[in-house]
Structure 1
Amino acid sequence: MKIEDPTALLDNLRALTGEVDWVEFKTNNDNAVAIGKYVSALANAAILREKSEAYLVWGIEDGSHDVIGTSVNLNAKKEGNEPFLLWLSKMLDPRIRLLVETVSYHGKRIEILCITPSYERPVRFQNQAYVRIGSAQQKLADYSDLERSIWQITSRFSFESSIIQPNATIDDLNEDYDFTKLLDLLEITANSIEAKLDRLIGEGLIQKNLQGRFDILALMAIACAKDLDKFPALSMKGMRLLEFEGTDKDTAREDLAGTRGYAVVFSVLMKRLMGLLSEGEEFIDGIRTSIYGIPEVAIRELVANALVHQDLTRHGERPTFEVYADRVKIINPGVPLIEADRFIDSPSKSRNPEFSNLMRKAGLCELRGSGVDRALRAIEAAALPPPSIQIVEGSTVVTTFKEKPFGKWTSDERILACYQHACLQFEDNEPMSNSSLRERFGLPQRQYPQVSMVIKDALDRGRIAPLSEDQSNRYARYVPYWAR
């Protein structure tokens, strides 16, 4: 973090009242080991208070906060034969960001050490973690409740909670983010810029800092940045849409790489995707209705699922949507946190829970854990081949298919459809039957023998199991393999 306005920072630090354990004022004490212990203790205090920075300031008297100046010069200081800051960095685990600023304040020389913890684990100095207890540094190991709290906080810290742009001004916000559209999506009414900023703070998208500016969280950029490539951590994270002429990649008709935040461009992407899948219009119940090769609700839920569950820490990899003559392939960086087999029934686990929640509040994806179910139900209702879910070189690939006659389905497709149908039926507390599977396939009653063959193949593959071992063929019911 760069200190843009040191005067405002020092004014605000001096104005802090009560016991503030993430700020320490000193005069001229620059003992190397003492500083190392302070850095560990202050960093851990910042984690406990969920602050983005801690500060060690020389030249201001502790207690009175009077400005007295200092001769401490950390940039010139040596420890042994190496620069002090390099030595200090080596002594800390994990490595954390340390920034030194020497400023003139009230006519006095002030040295500021800004400490930015990484929120990985407790910060140790020379293999020992410290914590502030009153005005003293104590070993963290002696305070198990505080150590446990630090581990709990760091375990839930995610990329979306990190600061993507520190010290932003209102002009920066207007230039870099389409936050007015985001607030509209969230159905938040705010007329003045001050009201909008307050709502952004309330939604956990930005933070007011001690320099009177704003720290922008990655969540804000992911949702409504005008250009994701402006931020190194999000470079090449914009969505990509490709259209191919046939069923392979030989001829690409279109290749669009976006740069905007996902929430504000989601409707644009969906409109373009569904345009590529349009098969004309029909009058249904007297209403002109668009017809698509794959149901819009299925595409919408699977696209949203890819966005919110991607691994944002995989640099240079972006959500990609490939449209072929017979299918749509949805690719997102990262391996899923649950087995692909259990997408339907398992409780949702997201790498990006805050972004998932934001997308739901904006009405852009389904309630927690129900998106994939909803997509599959729409695909079943249209009697389409089942979507496949694969893990390919660290990415999750979901492929949805357009209509094709049941006779052209492969054996693997039939068995997968049978398994997915059994999962959905189990979720509804209605075990799968020959009749329900036949309806899912869109087949008439006379083709029940073909459906029975699919059920037998799925049993032989271990994908489903009988509800009861002694059930009769006439009333046979089936559940997913994991339900027995």
Structure 2
Amino acid sequence: MTSDQEHVHHRVHLVDELRQFSTETEWVEFKNDNHHPQGIGEYISALTNAACLKYKPKAYLLYGIQDKTHEVVGTSFDPYKTKGNQDLLPWITTGLIPNPGFEVFMVDHPGGRVVVFEIDPARGRPVSFYGKSFIRVGSSKTTLKRHPDKEGAIWTRGSDWSAEICKDATLEDLDPEAVAKARSNSLSNIPPRRTRWLSGTISLSLTKLES
């Protein structure tokens, strides 16, 4: 098997693995052939935010797969076409703030052509699309502002050391000055209306650990 054949095989295998997930999986979305540009951007926002909450390294939006049965039906969707006088993907990327990063590729599956958006998770703050953030709740896409608990959780999650697990570490291993600085830096990146909530959460967590 050549390297190109292995590459194709890997992507077909990825599609088949994703098809095994339940329709309630919040970081994977299947679409038959409904590829309205606004909807694509909203789903990327919802999926990247959901992947953050579920600690998933990637989220996926797939076109060419029946939503209920997950049967591969194929799609004529071309992600490289234009939206009006602008290319579709740059238009979507411009609307994502911050841009989580995503890759688009086509898969020549035996059941039909599949278009895959492979999306990185949100880090440290929710991802919005042209000013509005979305989230997956079960199999439904909804605005993130309707779920303040989920929005607050995303603000506390990032790629910094405070999000990592140190095996066998205890409170005695923490440097008080470093903890104070990390807490200050984390709070400085959060809007004022979130700061009081997070500060109280941190204080409560430390109190429980010390008791």
Q: Give the TM-score normalised by structure 2.
A: 0.71
With over 3 angstroms needed to count, the CA separation of the structure-2 counterparts of 1:142 and 1:83, relative to structure 1, is same
Q: Deviations over 1:444-466 (max 9, x none)?
A: xxxxxxxxxxxxxxxxxxxxxxx
Which whole-Å CA distance do the structure 2 matches of 1:136 and 1:354 have between them? 30
Please provide the CA RMSD for this pair: 2.3
1:79 to partner: Cα distance = 1.5
> Which of 148, 153, 172 in structure 1 is aligned with 2:152?
148
Q: 1:14 to 1:152 in 2, by over 3 A?
A: same
8 A Cα contact 1:89 1:96, kept in partner: no
Q: How far did 1:353 drift? A: 7.6
Quick check: 1:25 aligned with 2:12?
no
Q: Please tell me whether the aligned partners of residues 25 and 139 of structure 2 are also in contact (alpha carbons under 8 angstroms).
A: no
Structure 1 residues 352 and 152: alpha-carbon distance in aligned structure 2, compared to 1, 3 A threshold: closer
Residue deviations 1:459-478, cap 9 Å, x none?
A: xxxxxxxxxxxxxxxxxxxx
Question: Secondary structure at the residue paired with 1:57?
Answer: strand
Do the aligned residues in 1 keep the contact of 2:135 with 2:142 (CA within 8 Å)? yes
Q: Which residue number in structure 2 is paired with residue 368 of structure 1?
A: 173
Q: Secondary structure at the match of 1:109?
A: strand
> What amino acid is the match of 2:173?
R
Q: What's 1:68 paired with?
A: 73
How far 1:59 sits from its partner (Å)? Answer: 0.7
Equivalent-residue separation in structure 1 for 2:60 and 2:96 (angstroms): 16
Aligned mates of 1:27, 1:66 — CA distance in 2: 9
Equivalent residue runs for 1:182-193 within 5 Å: none
> 1:103 and 1:56 mapped to 2: Cα distance?
13
Structure 1 segment 259-278 matched on structure 2, within 5 A: none
Q: CA deviation at 1:114?
A: 0.8
Retained in 1: the 8 A contact 2:124–2:156?
no
Shift of 1:18: 5.5
Contact between 2:97 and 2:129, CA under 8 Å: does it hold in 1? yes
Structure 2: where are the runs of 5+ without partners? 1-5, 176-211
Letter of the 2:77 partner, please give it: V
The structure that is helix-richer by fraction is: 2
Q: For residue 122 of structure 1, give the secondary structure of its aligned residue in structure 2.
A: coil
Change (3 A) 1:354 1:35: closer
Which of 116, 123, 129 is residue 120 of structure 2 equivalent to? 116
Structure 1 residue 107 displacement after superposition: 4.3
Alignment TM-score, normalising by the size of structure 1: 0.32
Q: Is the 8 A contact 1:94 1:120 kept in 2?
A: no
C-alpha spacing 1:67/1:144, structure 2 compared with 1 (3 Å): same
Paired positions, count: 166
2:49·2:122 contact (CA, 8 Å) conserved in 1?
no
Deviations 1:260-298 (A, max 9, x none): xxxxxxxxxxxxxxxxxxxxxxxxxxxxxxxxxxxxxxx
- Structure 1: runs of 5+ lacking an equivalent: 159-350, 362-366, 371-484
Hey, what's the Cα distance between the residues in 1 that align with 2:51 and 2:24? 13
- Percent identity for Structure 1 against Structure 2: 36
Determine the C-alpha separation between the residues in 1 that align with 2:101 and 2:25: 21
What are the within-5 Å matches in structure 2 for residues 238-253 of structure 1? none
Query: Structure 1: which 4+ aligned runs deviate by more than 6 Å?
Result: none
Say if 2:92 is the partner of 1:88. yes
